[in-house]
Homo-oligomer: A and B are copies of this chain.
Amino acid sequence: MDTIGVGLIGTGYMGKCHALAWNGVRAVFGDGPKVMLRHLAEANPDLAAQRAAEFGFEHATADWRDLLADPEVAVISITTPNAFHAEMAIAALEAGKHVWCEKPMAVVLEDAERMAAVAAASGRVAVLGYNYIQNPVVRHIEGLVKDGIIGRVNHVRLEMDEDFMADPEAPFYWKSERSSGYGALDDFGVHPLSLLQTLLGPVEAVMAQLAKPHEQRPVTGGGQRPVETWDIASVLLRLHGGVSGVMALNRSAWGRKGRIALQIFGDKGTIAYDQERMNEFQLFVAEGRPSEQGFRTVLAGPQHAPYDRFIPAPGHGLGFNDLKLIECHEVLRAIGGEAARVIDFGHGLLIERAVHAMARSHDEGRWVEL
C-alpha cells in the first residue's frame, strides 16, 4: 500500500482534528502510505468547498454518500453528531471502506450493537476516536501497570470534569434534552471508561447515581424548561480480579476545563494522572528509604513512545491534536494489517454497554452486572 485515499465526513471540532491528523501523520511518523486527501463531505456545500480548500482535500460534496461511491476513498473519518454515526459507519463498512468514527458509537445501545456486528462481518477496520488512550504518557502508564511496577492493582479512581454546563443561567439547548443521551455519562464518561478498559480491562458491575445540578434552565424567549439529562454522575465500579473503583463525572464543574484525573492504586505503588496536565504523570513506588519516598512528577519525553516522533527533547510537550494524530497512525497500522493500539467497534461496544448499565443501575437503585 503506497498511498491511501481518505474521506472525511463533518468539518467541525473533530472534523478539523481528523483533517490535521491526516495532514501530518506521514511527516511525523515517516512511515506508512502516502496520504491522499480525496473527498470531504459537509452538509453545507459552500462550507464543504471552503473546508476542502483549507484542509487540502481534492473533492468536496454536500452528500456524504458520494464518498462511498468514490473508488479512491479507502478510509472514511466520521465526525458528525452522534446520532449519525450508526447510519454512516454501517453504510461505509458495507461499501467496503475502513472507518474511523468519533465516539461515542451511538445514542441508543441497539445502534452500537449493530455497528459492532456489521464491523465484525465486514473484514474492514472500524476504529473509534478514543484519543486520550494515545497519549504517550497514558501508553507508558499502561506499560508500568502491565509490568507490575505498582504491583497488583487493587483500586482505581477516575474523574472527568468540565464546566460547559455549569452556568445555571445558560439557556436550555439540546445537551439538556433526553434525546441527546443521559448527559455526563455518555457525553464524556466514555472517555475515562476508555482509559479504564485500556489500562485495567472491562468493567464487571456498576452502581450509579445520576444527578441534576440545575433542575431547569431558561428558554430563549422566556420561561423555564425542565432539564432532562444528568450533568453529574457518580459510579461505584467492580472490575476484573476484584479491583474496586469509583468514577465521578461532572460537566457542570466550574473551573475544570478538560480534567480527566486517574488514580491507580497497587500493592507496590500508585500512579496518578490528570489530562489538564497531559504531559506529566505522578508515580509513587514503595522502594528505597522512606525519608526520600514521594510521588515523582515524570515529564513526557522521548522515552515515552511515540513522543520521540514529534520531538526529540524531553519536557517540551505534546498537545491535544497530537493525540489524534497518533490515533490516525494506529488506524493506518490497523489497515496495514498490524496489531494496532485502538478501541475498535467490538471493544467500543463494551464501553457503551457499561454506560447503559450505569443508567439502569441509577433507575433501579441497585448494582448491575455486565
Stretch at the interface among A59-67, A86-94, A242-250, A340-348: A242-250
Q: Is the CB of B244 within 8 A of A209?
A: yes
Q: Which of A12-38 contact B (CB under 8 A)?
A: 13, 16-17, 19-20, 23-24, 26-28, 30, 34
Pick the contact of A166 from B164, B211, B267, B322 — CB < 8 Å?
Answer: B267
A350 in contact (CB, < 8 A) = no
Q: Chain A interface secondary structure, helix, strand, loop or mixed?
A: mixed
Q: Whole-angstrom distance from the CB of A134 to the nearest CB of chain B? A: 13
Stretch at the interface among A71-79, A103-111, A171-179, A296-304: A296-304
Q: Is the CB of B13 within 8 A of A293?
A: no
Copy number in this complex?
A: 4
Q: Which residue of B lies closest to A22 (CB)?
A: B27
Residue-wise, chain A 91-103 has the 8 Å CB interface mask toward B (1 for contact) of 0000000000000
A194 in contact (CB, < 8 A) = no
Are A258 and B297 also in contact (CB < 8 A) when A27-B54, A213-B155 are? no
Complexed CA–CA distance, A323 and B60 (Å): 30
A16 partner residues in chain B, CB cutoff 8 A: 27
Q: Is the CB of A257 within 8 A of B314?
A: yes
**What are 7 sample pairs from A and B whose C-beta atoms fall under 8 A apart?**
A19-B27, A154-B232, A209-B238, A255-B294, A257-B316, A283-B292, A291-B298
